[in-house]
Structure 1
Amino acid sequence: MEPNLDIGVVGLGVMGRSLALNMLDHGFEVGGSDLSADLVRLYSDGGGERARGFATTEEMVTALKRPRRVLIMVPAGRPVDAVLSDLSGYLQAGDIVIDGGNSNYHDTQRRIVEASERGVLFVGAGVSGGEDGARHGPSIMPGGSEAAWPHVAPALQAIAAKGPDGDPCCDWLGGGGCGHAVKTVHNGIEYAFMQAISESYALLKAGSGMDGGALAKTFESWNAGAMRSYLLEITAAIFGVAGTSGPLVDEVLDEAQQKGTGKWTAEMSLDLGVPCPTLAEAVFARGVSSRRELRGSIAERHASGGVGVDTPVAEPEDVRQALFATVVLAFAQGLDLIGSASEAHGWNVKLERVAKLWRAGCIIRIAFLDRISEAMLSAGSKHLLLDPWFAEHVAAAAPGLRRTVAASAMHGVGCPVMASALAYYDTIRATRLPHNLLQAQRDAFGAHTYRRLDGSGVFHTDWLGDGATTTIG
């Protein structure tokens, strides 16, 4: 039989199956394979006569038109390498592999090189939107072997979500592992956005005792204008679901799980020396939540967290401003990290393009992403806070953020992400930081040297002896 499939999907779990069905809906002939016969059957049954399931990868690859295009949708790490090892016996020079999972971008960099040695083109494509997005229109962030793009663009752009202007939320980002790096940072921003909303919930509940209905109305009212977003939309909906004696969410165990992309964002930040404290603090907050037994034991000895003030925990309008400022600062940190990674690795990622890909389909979609795209495109806007609109609106929201963080501290309501956002805002705009003392300390105990404000050279001072200074260079 003449090969007639446009693309094959390896891994027919929730995301892989949803993407395959999405491509079928858009007129592409799609094969699917999985280690689970039940998942292959589920795909075949769900896609109708045109959905072709295969018991083995070899059978599916044989049915693909040249250049063969294979989309891998399996868990990150060793499972991806196992699939690639299996495929290596069947693919030829010019064929294309797309890794659509949440892979570490360092692994993607390695796999591009390994694939190129066999003449195979490799694309690392971050996919955001969850099951519904994958089925009806996700945000897709591809990068890697650019020669593959003309061959995979028709399918990927067809199934992607469409922005307000009708453009697909899928476009080529650059070389190397940039696609997965951008998706990793997307998830880091997602962690911070979700944590900031959760801190808002804690403050509103502690301050006014809002019930589920009031909380739903509050978050619904906030989901407007520049803050209109998917995460605020689902938050309002969550508070509208009734449990046994209030909103069902109050009966959910307060332990947040994680799969690793938030941690990778923090590691990426540290590796590149780009400060992203708000993104990192969101990861730590999930870690604290997972230590529920320890929290309970410590609470028995430290029951009172506040200082006995009579003022409200936080005014709702202050909390709204704090949420807005925190989310903007999370985006600012994430984009700074992507830009720095692109420069370090030579990816040539355009930040305005990244922002456009996030406008629809993905979890962090928010109304001000169009403004972010414009800000990143404008000359000189290397950081989001340099843009006039964001500078003005963050400055306007900063007093609410300050009052909210102060109130949370006075009342003992932990808000680590909001507090870190405020600290970042105050330090990133400071013309003078106390790190002159810190560097002097380093020189005192380790002879690490220092530079002077006048830029005259590099020096070492005998701080603990006679105070003599030596010019090093």
Structure 2
Amino acid sequence: MAGADIAVIGLAVMGQNLVLNMAEKGFRVAIYNRTVERVDETLVAAGPLADKLVPCHSIVELVAALEPPRTVLLMVKAGTAVDESIAQLKPHLSPGDCIIDAGNADYHDSMRRDAALKADGLDFLGVGVSGGEEGARHGPSIMAGGAPKAFERIGPLLTAIAARYEGTPCAAYLGPAGAGHFVKTLHNGIEYADMEMIAEIYGLMRDGLGLKPAAMAEIFERWTKGPLASYLIEITAQALRTTDPATGRPIVDVILDSAGQKGTGRWSAIEALDLGVAAGAIVAAVEARGLSSAKALRAAVSKTLGDAPRERIGEATPELIADLEKTLLAGKILAYAQGFEVMATASARSGWTLPLDEIARIWRAGCIIRSSLLDRIAGAYAKDAGLASLLLDEGFAAILADALPAMQRVLGLAIGKGHAAPSLAAGLSYLQQLRSHRTTLDLVQAQRDIFGAHGFERIDQPGTHHGPWGGTAG
């Protein structure tokens, strides 16, 4: 039974919600899941939208339900599950058909899959989708990369289901295969840093100021109406004011402090290191999640060395709360600056020409890191597409100059009183190094020349030089 506009394989929460989003926008969707019971469950969940769905219980049936040229969207677990789904589909597809991987994927895999499918005359789009369950259902941010002609054909559907910011769709074609998933990876890296920095400020409020969750919720609620306005600040306030129905305690007090991760944050850190771009705030956030999961090791070290003291840093005065707000604002800007610099460097190396202003625009709604700062970021890159760093934009430079004294005060208190703030501290260190006319790496160059004869440049003479060390160690 042909007639479907698109097929979706993978009906877990994200896949199911995307299906319902498509159906609500008027598209006819063929659906299939390896566990076929999910197909029937999706029909039930669809309610009045069920007449827009074509339930299928095999790959053959799914492909037959599509009008050519066919489009099949995969919402399955990253890695081998994607390759297995493609292998099952390929014998039933024809040249000109398109496979979309809309899950989180390593962009290297997307490039490999594109090349393999292109050899068989098939198109491939690697599409980053951000917004969680709610975004998938009502409008995510969509980052596409792959065959331009495939996006030209399928783009209207992706645009129709995307979030809107002041009427503008938060969906864009960003470049060749790999570009969409790379941008989604860096979105998630920035997300890791943003979440970790918020958690570090929460920790200072809880352990350094002795505030209860309800009092912290009020502060974060106020911050949603200022320069920190963002989805993550909103849900932080929501989490802090929520009570656990089983115990009557604040829900955050009964949640185990061990955070999971699915790979994209780690990939963003790896890519930054591979490209030689400083992204310490992102890397520190990834490491913080890893340490949080090492519960047994943390318990052992705590027993050996004693608990970190986490002494009070002061009273919750309006002045100190304002310092915390400025510290978090500066940290967020620095995390964005690092993420966008990684994207710019990857774009130059790969020949993608990533539109950084457009990326900021499509992140303004639907995605997890949507915030008021993204309008400013879009404007900065629209004004200067070759901007080497957000720190060079006059507007952001002014914000950071104003916030820097507060950030130094807060982190000085935090470290001095035994509080961990790895991502914020990494952000401050990054900023301080960038502001330094002369760093301490002259000594590192001397060391490298002594033990390895690597040579160094001089400030007063051109060329490569060696020191008068009197011999080098092996």
Q: TM-score range by the shorter chain?
A: over 0.9
In structure 2, what is the equivalent of residue 368 of structure 1? 373
For each residue in 1:442-473, what CA deviation from the matched residue of structure 2 results, as whole angstroms up to 9, or x when unmatched?
1110011112224511122342449xxxxxxx
Give the superposition deviation at 1:381: 2.2
In structure 1, what is the equivalent of residue 429 of structure 2? 423
Instruction: Decide whether the 8 Å contact of 2:310 with 2:419 is kept in 1.
Output: no
Residues 1:233 and 2:212 are matched in the alignment: no
Query: Structure 2 length normalisation: TM-score?
Result: 0.95
Gaps of 5+ in 2: none
Instruction: Decide whether the 8 Å contact of 2:208 with 2:310 is kept in 1.
Output: no
Instruction: Decide whether the 8 Å contact of 1:322 with 1:404 is kept in 2.
Output: yes
- After superposition, residues 144-223 of structure 1 pair within 5 angstroms as 144-164=146-166, 166-223=167-224
Moved over 4 A (4+): 306-314
For each residue in 1:193-237, what CA deviation from the matched residue of structure 2 results, as whole angstroms up to 9, or x when unmatched?
110111111101123221121111011011123311000101101
What is the SS of the residue equivalent to 1:151? helix
The counterpart of 1:395, out of the listed 398, 401, 408, is 401
1:98 and 1:454 map into 2 onto residues whose CA distance is: 56
In structure 1, what is the equivalent of residue 124 of structure 2? 122
Give the superposition deviation at 1:145: 1.1
Query: Structure 1 length normalisation: TM-score?
Result: 0.95
CA RMSD in angstroms, aligned pairs only: 1.7
In structure 1, what is the equivalent of residue 56 of structure 2? 54
In structure 2, what is the equivalent of residue 89 of structure 1? 91
For each residue in 1:349-378, what CA deviation from the matched residue of structure 2 results, as whole angstroms up to 9, or x when unmatched?
110010011000000000111110010121
1:12 and 1:271 map into 2 onto residues whose CA distance is: 35
1:119 and 1:203 map into 2 onto residues whose CA distance is: 56
In structure 1, what is the equivalent of residue 467 of structure 2? 461
In structure 1, what is the equivalent of residue 139 of structure 2? 137
Between 42-51 and 431-440, the greater mean CA deviation after superposition:
42-51
In structure 1, what is the equivalent of residue 360 of structure 2? 355
2:73 and 2:400 map into 1 onto residues whose CA distance is: 41
Between 456-465 and 370-379, the greater mean CA deviation after superposition:
456-465
Instruction: Decide whether the 8 Å contact of 1:307 with 1:410 is kept in 2.
Output: no
Give the superposition deviation at 1:430: 1.8
1:310 and 1:53 map into 2 onto residues whose CA distance is: 59
Instruction: Decide whether the 8 Å contact of 1:196 with 1:417 is kept in 2.
Output: yes
- After superposition, residues 309-458 of structure 1 pair within 5 angstroms as 311=314, 315-379=320-384, 380-454=386-460, 456-458=462-464
Which residue type is aligned with residue 127 of structure 1? V
Q: How many residues align?
A: 464
- Structure 1 84/59 Cα, relative in aligned 2: closer, same or farther at 3 Å? same
1:258 and 1:16 map into 2 onto residues whose CA distance is: 19
2:470 and 2:309 map into 1 onto residues whose CA distance is: 41
In structure 1, what is the equivalent of residue 283 of structure 2? 280
Instruction: Decide whether the 8 Å contact of 2:209 with 2:314 is kept in 1.
Output: no
In structure 1, what is the equivalent of residue 262 of structure 2? 259
Which residue type is aligned with residue 66 of structure 2? L
Instruction: Decide whether the 8 Å contact of 2:208 with 2:312 is kept in 1.
Output: no
Give the superposition deviation at 1:429: 2.2
Residues 1:301 and 2:304 are matched in the alignment: yes
- Structure 1 282/464 Cα, relative in aligned 2: closer, same or farther at 3 Å? farther
Instruction: Decide whether the 8 Å contact of 1:375 with 1:384 is kept in 2.
Output: yes
Which residue type is aligned with residue 150 of structure 1? E
Which residue type is aligned with residue 233 of structure 1? E
Instruction: Decide whether the 8 Å contact of 1:156 with 1:170 is kept in 2.
Output: yes
For each residue in 1:61-108, what CA deviation from the matched residue of structure 2 results, as whole angstroms up to 9, or x when unmatched?
111112111101001010000011111101111111110000000000
1:137 and 1:307 map into 2 onto residues whose CA distance is: 42
In structure 2, what is the equivalent of residue 29 of structure 1? 28
What is the SS of the residue equivalent to 1:352? helix
- Structure 1 189/310 Cα, relative in aligned 2: closer, same or farther at 3 Å? closer
